[in-house]
């Protein structure tokens, strides 16, 4: 995912993580007794932290736990299948 365009599902997941983080940060700001500006700052920090954690979790998972994931190298997977078809056609009989 690093250095590649994000697909629509990744964008949606990051947006949901940011909204959840903003909700958690807003609740934390209210519970701690901050005024409106303090609660807004807590919400922004929560959104940044939760979406950052989700992004780095994906990066770690794709690069270290699943290095051959098809979502990571979609063009290579297509190229390999085409290469196999070509090799099957030119096999000596």
The model's pLDDT over 26-66, given as tens digits with 9 standing for 90+, comes to 999 999 998 999 999 999 999 999 999 999 988 887 777 76
36 domain residue, yes or no:
yes
DSSP 68: T
Q: How far apart are CA 35 and CA 41, in angstroms?
A: 10
Domain count, the chain: 1
Q: Which domain holds residue 29?
A: 8-89
Q: How far apart are CA 13 and CA 6, in angstroms?
A: 11
67 domain residue, yes or no:
yes
58 domain residue, yes or no:
yes
pLDDT, the chain, mean:
77
pTM greater than the 0.75 cutoff: no
1 domain residue, yes or no:
no
60 domain residue, yes or no:
yes
21 domain residue, yes or no:
yes
3 domain residue, yes or no:
no
Three-class SS of 30-48: HHCCCCHHHHHHHHHHHHH
């Amino acid at each position: 995912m690093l250095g590649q365009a994000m697909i629509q599902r990744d964008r949606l997941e990051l947006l949901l993580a940011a909204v959840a983080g903003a909700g958690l940060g807003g609740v934390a700001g209210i519970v701690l007794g901050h005024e409106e500006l303090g609660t807004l700052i807590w919400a922004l920090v929560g959104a940044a932290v939760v979406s950052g954690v989700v992004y780095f979790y994906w990066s770690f998972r794709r690069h270290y736990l699943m290095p051959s994931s098809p979502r990571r190298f979609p063009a290579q997977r297509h190229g390999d299948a085409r290469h196999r078809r070509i090799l099957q056609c030119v096999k000596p009989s």
